[in-house]
Amino acid sequence: MECYPGAAMNNPVKQLLDSALFYAEKGLPVFPLIAGGKKPLPGSRGFHEAATDKNQIYQWWKDKAYNIGLNCGMIDIVIIDIDNKNGVDGFANFEAWLNGRELPHTIRVKTRSGGQHIYFKGAGIKSGQGIPCAGVDIRAMGGYVVMPPSYVAEDGKAGAGNYSFIEDEAKSILAMPAWLHAELLSDKNTGKKNREVLVKTTQPKKIIKSHDFPPTRENAIKLRNAVKARMHHTNCSVEFEWFNLMLELRSLVYLCHWPDELAWGIFDIFSQKIGGNYDYDKNRARWDRQDHDPSGRTYRSLLAELKTSNHTDADIDGAPVNDSGSIDALSKAQDKFALITLGGKVGVIDKGNLGLRNVEGSAARLEVINRADGVLLLERYISNEFPQADCRKISNLFLRDRNTTMYDRIEFNPRGNSAGTLNLWVGETITPKCGEWPLIYEFLRNVLCGGRETEYQYLVKYIAHALQKPWEKPGVMIIMLGGQGIGKGTLGRILQKIWSATYLHVPRIKNVVGDFNGALERAYVVFLDEALFAGDRASADTLKSLVTEPSVNINEKYQPSRQIQSYHRFFSATNAEWFKGTDRDDRRDFVLKVSEDRKGDFAFWDKLDLEICNGGVEAFAHDLLAMDLSGFNVRAKPNTHELTEQKLHSLDKFPRWWFNCLSTGAIAATDIDWPEFVSTENLLSEFKESEKGVRAYRQVIEREVKANINKLCPSASTEQRMENLRRKRGYRLPSLEKTREDFERYIGGPILWDES
């Protein structure tokens, strides 16, 4: 993708707007940062609001010189952030770490402080993951960067300046080399703990290991004793000493990857017991503000002081163990459980349950546990796995530790995970294999489609589209009509084998259109089996919305309401001739009349069953994935004769009566031939006569008759004639053939007229 807007800032508002629109056009999701700074707008959701919609971009930047932020994780962009600060030469460190390995000629950006951002495409990497050396950071999933030509003012950390593309570098973002991708992933979930200072500006040849005090049980004992010793000779009312202690403990989080809440808890207890004016909120705020590379004293200062004081190494190492396995217990709890915010409330989810399947192979439903019950389950888990651990302490750490996964949204997204979002998507579960599927072909083409090639091509490409492009919702439902025992349910078996985790069999329509539709949340292929009857207009209208709308609201008993993207594929089978009310301009229904030629042919169905169970579906899926869909528009469905029949069944009273007149070739019972002229009075009279005995809530009036004739037969012209010595208003009608053509255009398809 090319992205190279200029960096001149003669007109900041226009320059930034044009650049943001350019990035959006290239598929880069951007969001506004404060003018002259690097932070998101106050009150916004930051990079979670990143978008590529041009209207949204224009609204953000139309009259404000906001800086531009890029959400890295939304499109799997990984950025290597190199800088020189705090006496560390990031460029020299990175060159030493590369050790002669070359990077592709990809986009590079010069930062306002003279650093560099190197852009790559790469999936599965989180911000801060696998950092190779000091002075280098990783910006990826869960993070963002400032984009050119943003201007950042002087802030005490670096001077003022613009972000700009390095002109002699490439103009496209290239894929990350496999070796670099593997290097970053090799240290998965360890964040910054393996950072080494390879080169310092003051001591370029000295190598200092920064992970020599890992968060082990033994080191936790040492740390508690060290802080205990400090209490004997530090007066916390002295701000300088108190601040130094905070830096020492904070450095454990930054340099040694200690759980933030564990280090904070030790500091907070220290602050309470030492005296002075204790204020939890102020202390916590000061602690959180130190979320950067601490300078000055580190944890080594704390341990070194013990050895020069009255406390010996034995005092440090010989403390009793009273919280055995706390760190391991917290880590295991974070692997199994996560937090999620829905509807303004925080809940707990068991991540392990999300991978479970029921007896039919369907993925387990998401269950959000309220916080109190979730903590109870968490503590029971800790008690079983780590009997010596303090369950209450670990659960409190779990709720507050920054390494606990915290989701703020739910999605069902086949394109991949968005930052901070729980993705419930599961793709096809079948393993495609090259092979033959002749009986499946016979079934699809000659049974389901009745040998009609156009309908077969659309059906098989519709299923191929579901495999190849699950993120494109078709907005079309496959409807199969026919009697019992002719194979409609066999298609469901084939689909279930391809998508066993996300296949949903629906015998009752209320399961998906009723008040509690949680079954849809993890469903992709929805098979309605005799689930709807034509008289249920309300359910049919809701089903129309589900077929086409891009999102669906999920409501489940005792669960918070949420909204997910809808990529559902709907299939329906019914024995009835009339499935549901269908609009004459329908764009959702692809209706098939299933052939009965194989009804009772048990030998055929037995052979088909063997093929389905013994590799036929795998071969079918293999060919679907290889199918060329370049010229296929999934929304351009064929309008079948069966669809037209559904429309005729769904006609309102007057159009239905008019269709009957066209079918019989007469309007009045006394007519021998199709009349040349009919008065409005006679039209209304004949219609009312046909409706005798039919319950009606209101009477049809003359104005409605005129409106209907204008739509049903636009070729008719108004005229006045004398009938029985009375002048009557009415219509000069075209020939019966022409009138039928008008009606076919109205209904949207050809009709097989009864000429008998």
CA dist., res. 16 & res. 151, Å (int): 10
* 416 torsion bin: left (phi>0), alpha (psi -120 to 50), beta (else): left
Task: Tell me, yes or no, whether 427 lies in a domain.
Answer: no
Pair (241, 140) in one structural domain: no
Classify residue 502: in a domain, yes or no. yes
First-to-final CA distance of the chain: 66
- CA–CA dist 457, 448 (Å, integer): 12
Nearest 5°: the CA angle 216, 219, 225 is 145
- Using one digit for the tens of pLDDT, what is the confidence trace for 320-361? 334 445 667 888 898 899 999 887 889 999 988 877 766 567
3-state secondary structure of 754: coil
Return the closest-CA partner of residue 87 out of 35, 22, 134: 134
| Residues 332, 305 within the same domain | no
Q: Are residues 639 and 656 in the same domain?
A: no
pLDDT surpassing 50 at residue 128: yes
Q: Find out whether 718 and 729 touch, Cβ atoms under 8 Å.
A: yes
Q: What is residue 495's predicted lDDT score, i.e. its pLDDT?
A: 96
369 and 500, same domain (yes or no): no
CA-based angle 712:718:723, to the nearest 5? Answer: 115
Note down the domain range covering 566: 438-644
Please tell me the total count of domains within the chain: 5
Minimal CA–CA distance to 713: which of 678, 685, 681?
678
User: Has residue 513 been placed in a domain?
Assistant: yes
Q: In what order do the strands lie in the sheet with 726-732?
A: 677-679, 726-732, 717-723
Biggest distance spanned by C-alpha atoms of the chain: 129
Domain boundary among 361, 385, 407: 407
Q: Give the pLDDT confidence of 695-735 residue by residue, as tens digits.
A: 655 667 778 888 989 999 999 999 888 877 788 899 999 99
**Alpha carbons 442 and 144: distance in angstroms, whole number:** 53
pLDDT tens sequence across 193-234: 444 444 444 333 333 334 456 666 667 767 777 766 666 555
Is 210 part of a structural domain of the chain? no
Using the 3D structure, point to which of 258, 292, 317 is the last residue of a domain: 317
Q: Which pLDDT tens digit goes with each residue over 566-582?
A: 999 999 999 888 877 78
Flag whether 754 is in a domain.
no
Token pair, residue 45, equals 């959701």
Three-state DSSP class for residue 108: strand
Whether residues 527 and 638 fall in one domain: yes
Structure tokens at 379: 């503590």
- Pick the closest to residue 665 from 748, 743, 576, 747 (CA basis): 743
CATH code of 582's domain: 3.40.50.300
Are 70 and 154 in a shared domain? yes
Same domain assignment for residues 592 and 449: yes
- Position 505: which residue type? H
Query: Do 501 and 640 lie in a common domain?
Result: yes
Gyration radius from the chain CA atoms = 35
Residues 184 and 229 in one domain: no
Residue 371: strand, helix, or coil: helix
Domain-embedded: residue 419: no
Query: What is the spatial distance between Cα 170 and Cα 380, in angstroms, rounded to a whole number?
Result: 55
Mean pLDDT of 509-525: 88
Measured CA distances, 84 to 113, 168, 195 (Å): 8, 22, 15
**What pTM value is reported for the model?**
0.56
Structure tokens at 130: 């696998």
Are 665 and 628 found together in one domain?
A: no
Strand 116-121 relative to strand 77-82: parallel, antiparallel, unpaired? antiparallel
Q: Are residues 35 and 154 in the same domain?
A: yes
CB 93 within 8 A of CB 198: yes
CA neighbor of 355 nearest in space, from 449, 424, 454: 424
Dihedral sign for Cα 531, 585, 448, 517, please.
negative
Tokens of 40: 């998101």
Q: What is the CATH number of the domain that holds 143?
A: 3.30.2250
- Give the tens place of pLDDT for each residue, 253-309: 766 667 776 777 777 777 766 655 667 777 777 777 665 444 444 555 666 655 554
pLDDT tens digits, one per residue of 369-383: 998 899 999 999 988
pLDDT single digits (tens) 140-191: 888 899 999 998 887 656 667 889 888 665 678 888 888 888 888 775 434 4
CA distances 454 to 358, 445, 475, 637, 744, Å, are 38, 10, 19, 10, 21
Asked if residue 172 belongs to a domain, the reply is: yes
Instruction: From 544, 521, 436, 449, select the one nearest 491 (Cα to Cα).
Output: 449
Q: How far apart are CA 234 and CA 228, in angstroms?
A: 10
Contact between residue 50 and residue 29 where contact means Cβ atoms under 8 Å apart: yes
Helix (H, G, I), strand (E, B) or coil at 278: coil
With tokens 């309908």, the residue in question is 455
Residues 15-28 have pLDDT tens digits of 899 899 999 988 89
Question: In this predicted structure, what is the pLDDT of residue 237?
Answer: 44
Residue predicted with more confidence, 158 or 663: 663
- CATH number, residue 732: 3.90.1150
Cα 575 to Cα 384: distance, rounded to the nearest angstrom: 54
Q: Which two tokens stand for residue 577?
A: 């001739």
Pull the structure tokens for residue 348. 């707990």
Q: Within this chain, do residues 609 and 479 fall inside the same structural domain, yes or no?
A: yes
Token code pair at residue 322: 């009273």
Which residue shows structure tokens 């795998």? Answer: 618
Q: Are 461 and 627 in contact (CB under 8 A)?
A: yes
Residue 206 lies in a domain: no
Ramachandran region, residue 312 (left: φ > 0; alpha: ψ -120 to 50; beta: rest): beta
Residue 200: beta bridge partners? 88
Q: Which two tokens stand for residue 670?
A: 């006394």
Structure-token pair, residue 409: 């949204």
- The string of pLDDT tens digits covering residues 542-562 is 888 899 999 999 888 888 888
pLDDT in tens, 25-59: 888 999 999 988 888 888 788 888 899 988 889 88
Give the tens place of pLDDT for each residue, 478-504.
999 988 888 899 999 999 999 999 999
Rounded to the nearest angstrom, the gap between the alpha carbon of residue 631 and the centroid of all alpha carbons in its chain is 27
Tokens at 475, concatenated:
């907005």
Question: What does pLDDT average to over the chain?
Answer: 81
Residue that finishes a domain, picked among 623, 644, 665: 644
Write out 203-246 in H/E/C secondary structure: CCCCCEECCCCCCCHHHHHHHHHHHHHHHCCCCCCCHHHHHHHH
Interatomic CA distance for residues 750 and 740, integer angstroms? 10
Angle at 660 between CA 659 and CA 665, to 5 degrees: 100
Residue 317 CA to residue 223 CA, distance in Å, equals 10
Are 492 and 444 in contact, with CB atoms under 8 Å apart? no
**Short-list 650, 660, 653, CA closest to 579:** 650
- What does the angle CA 688 – CA 692 – CA 693 come to, to the nearest 5 degrees? 155
